[in-house]
Amino acid sequence: MRITDLLRKEGIELNGVVSNKLEAITKMVELMDKTGNIKDVEKYKEGVLKREEEGTTGIGEGIAIPHAKTDAVNRAGLCAMVVKNKVDFDSLDDQPVDLIFLIAAPDSKDNVHLQVLSRLSVLLMNPDFTTGLRNAKTADEFLTIIDTAESKRAEEEEAKAMAQKAASDTITNAADKSGYHILAVTACPTGIAHTYMAAESLENKGKELGHLLKAETNGSGGDKNVLSKEEIAACDGIIIAADKKVEMARFDGKPVLTTSVSNGINKAEDLINKVVKGEVPIYHHEGGKSESAAYGEGDSAGRKIYKHLMNGVSHMLPFVVGGGILIALAFLFDNYEINPSNFGMNTPLAAFFKTIGGQAFGFMLPILAGYIAMSIAERPGLAVGVVGGILASGGYTFGNLMNYADSTPVSSGFIGALIAGFAGGYIVVLLKKMFAKLPGALEGLKPVLIYPLVGIFLIGVFMIGINPAVGAINTALNDFLASMGNTSKILMGTILGGMMAIDMGGPFNKAAYVFGTAQLTMESAGTEQFAIMAAVMIGGMVPPLAIALCTTVFKNRFTDNERKSGIVNYVMGLSFITEGAIPFAASDPLRVLPACIVGSALAGALSMVFGCGLRAPHGGIFVIAVITNPLMYLAALVIGSVVGALILAALKKPLSKQK
């Protein structure tokens, strides 16, 4: 199916005038309705807007390709609009859009919208093509430009396929090869526009530089132009321009350059030159496994450690959040006066919440350790890490295993679980290397017998050996927090609150949050630990709220789209979703970040001053009922948000022209 088969004259607007993205989409949907391709206008529009929520379809260079696949569509269709006054479309390059294509696809298995979208994405990379469309005087001329370009593209594709076949035959039949042979794999999370644009950019730049280059696309419609074994064996290097996992085992022993898909689009020449000059490291796939590997395998040691840690934290959080909030509810529904020493279990309802929440919360440390180990050593590391986390949580030592009276278990807590996770992962990595040369007939024994048996034994010996020392550190930290004076507590609240706003979901933010949740796992967790968690959460709530307030009160400092996004930040801030502030921080970090950091640090300090405490590790405004001194906590939140908003308003100048 050709692009011109889907595009009708009544679906083309060459003199569009719209003021914002929503108006542009509404106008495009109206055009689509005129073509008779949709049976439910509102449902189709809802589908287009939902797709935009997943990520902008403004692909850059003044172009946007919104689309939706839904049963509100009668038949596949396409419409187009040239926006003479240009419009902000939240594009990836932050530039306004003046050329928009809208795709409608029925909810069927043929994925026709992906086929058309990939073809459009490639054609739209040609500046002569897009210039012609922008300058078209009539709908007929617009269609002719597309038809001509698509026909030419089809001829080029056929010629390229023949050239690749000839090159492949040469590689297969020749004793040695001549010239450069570069391969590439492109992939983005959605597997649509950027995947094909990166492939096109690399192939075009390779041709321009005189190097035959073939690019495989891992798109939503499946892998296309797949690299053969012969091509991989004969090539001089491979470029992986991907932001998601691709199959890497096939490239073992070849020079492989990994980068982002956007670099594949914008820095194709640099990437190709690195391969040509031999500046690409040889890729070695661990253990010959066929699992896919993620973009970024060339990360620094520090980055790899952080990614392993975050893998553990992300899997741990559901247990922490669910269990922690249930435990907090147990205290809310209990009666302290019945039995102060049994607070949280005095009433049937409280006991119900406390028991279920406690069981869920108890998985926190084993899950953390298990998934850190799994990140390092793949699936064989999971069991080893989980067992290490259990031993850390239980505080088992050689002494208390024998029930010595003077050796009671002391949990090594969060620190011990971290050590167990990394130790368990690298123990399995070591075992893989040790048993790599086993006969093929015994290969199946590794994951089901050797790795779990030997790995669990080794992590057991290791953790039981270090638990006394780590348990002592854990206890010392607990005692230190309990002994802190008011001044020290305020300082800690200031630091933790500020850290939550430094990178909003990045390493600093996660470090503060993990530290806060770790305090809740201490067996003797009390007022000091709960105060830390309260300061951490309030520090994460302030940035979105400060930005939302600023966009509401000081409207002349923000564009129309920013003001609309600001409204959403009220909900995200109150829900403790700090990431709502990221778009603002990314577009203007020198003004947004200082304002948010000061507001969050102030809120964290005030939370400590007011003696607020939080037993739940998440929830935002929805767990206010279980926060100690809730009214003053809300006061601290308001003060921090207002101060942050005022600082941001002072740093940002009013826009010269309202957008």
**Catalytic residue annotation:** 67, 188
CA distances from 282 to 190, 255, 410, 421 (A): 29, 4, 47, 29
Which residues face 223 on adjacent strands? Answer: 218
Long-range contacts, 36-41 (Cβ 8 Å, 24+): 36/74, 37/73, 37/74, 37/75, 37/76, 37/77, 37/104, 38/72, 38/73, 38/74, 38/77, 38/104, 39/72, 39/73, 39/74, 40/72, 41/72
Write down the H helix ranges in 55-138.
Answer: 112-123, 127-135
Phi-psi region of 439 (alpha: psi -120 to 50; beta: other; left: phi over 0): beta
User: What angle do the packed helices 301-332 and 348-362 form, to 10 degrees?
Assistant: 170
Task: Give the sign of the dihedral formed by CA 218, CA 223, CA 224, CA 226.
Answer: positive
What is the Cα–Cα distance from 218 to 225, expressed in whole angstroms?
A: 9
- Residue 602 contacts residue 552 (beta carbons within 8 Å): no
483-499 b/e (C-beta count within 10 Å ≥ 16 → b): eeeeeebbebbbebbbb
d(CA 557, CA 563): 9
Exposure string (b/e) for 514-541, b if CB count within 10 Å is 16 or more?
bbbbbbbbbeebeebbbbbbbbbbbbbb
> Tokens 């594709």 appear where?
157
Question: Would strands 58-60 and 97-105 be described as parallel, antiparallel, or unpaired?
Answer: unpaired
Rg of the chain, C-alpha, whole Å: 29
DSSP 590-637: HHHHHHHHHHHHHHHHHHHHTT-EESSSS-GGGGGGGEESHHHHHHHH
Which residues touch 158 (CB under 8 Å, ≥6 apart)?
A: none
Let me know: does 581 contact 610? Beta carbons within 8 Å: no
End-to-end, the C-alpha distance of the chain in Å comes to: 40
Give, in order, the Cα–Cα distances in Å from 595 to each of 439, 510, 649: 62, 20, 9
185 bridge partner residues: 216, 240
Q: What are the structure tokens assigned to 546, written together?
A: 């400060």
